[in-house]
Amino acid sequence: MKEDLRVIKTKEAIKNAFISLIEEKGFENIKIIDIARRANVNRNTIYLHYDSKEQIIETLIDEIFTKELSDFNMADYLKARQSRRLLKELINKIFLIVREHVELYRIILTDQNLSGYLTFKLRKIKTFILESLKPVLKNEIIVEYVVSGIFGTFMNWVVYDKGSIEENVAIITDLVISNLRHTQYR
């Protein structure tokens, strides 16, 4: 069933108000009433859609990660682990998606009170990838290394403006290709 356009617009107003408040005040200093005022909605309207400010941030992060992973078919990439072109396309696609939400990422990555949400999502991504691999320690270590390395590269790019998308994609592609050669498949 399609969501009502008014509901969609209200949720967007709430999320946008929330993002601007995080940037302005920091996550810990925001109250639901602040979000309601900024979004120009009643406080009860926020509670109609979200239980708390924590649920709003979880929803924002979920939406972004879901979008990033929606077309990610792990089996295809594992089969083509030697395909530099395919891997480069995937990493480039992820960078372009991140660029669409670069301000949100910058806010999330720089607010220390939000680090737990990112850690939880990174753990889910690692688990998602490991489901396609043999359950051996070597694979766990490689996935940890690769995902953490890519996350660190995103942080350098988003927060510190280090390198272009093309430079980051080329470097990550080389690193990931060298590590994928050592993974074990089912």
- CATH code of the domain in which 18 resides: 1.10.10.60
Query: Could you tell me if residue 185 is inside a domain?
Result: no
Judged against a pLDDT cut of 80, whether residue 182 lies above it is answered with: no
Task: Please check whether residues 43 and 9 belong to one and the same domain.
Answer: yes
* 41 and 98 co-located in one domain: no
169 in a structural domain: yes
Q: Cα dist. 104→10, 15, 101, 127 in Å? A: 19, 10, 5, 24
Structural domain includes residue 186: no
pLDDT band for 51, please (50, 70, 90 cuts). very high
Q: Which residue has the tokens 């051996």?
A: 136
CA distances from 134 to 25, 82, 116, 137 (A): 45, 18, 28, 9
Whole-number pLDDT of residue 70: 63
pLDDT of 69 higher than 80? no
Name which residue leads in pLDDT, 172 or 177.
172
- Here the tokens at position 13 are 């107003």
42, 101: one domain: no
The burial class, CB within 10 Å (0-12 / 13-18 / 19+), for 169 is: buried
| Pair 113, 24 in one domain | no
Reference 50, options 82, 10, 86, 19; nearest CA is 10
Look at residue 120 in the predicted model and tell me its pLDDT: 82
Q: How many domains does the chain have?
A: 2
Whether residues 26 and 90 fall in one domain = no
156 domain residue, yes or no: yes
C-beta of residue 155 within 8 angstroms of C-beta of residue 147: no
pLDDT digits (tens, 9 = 90+) for 116-170: 887 887 888 788 778 877 788 887 888 888 788 888 888 889 899 898 999 998 9
150 in Cβ contact with 168 (< 8 Å): no
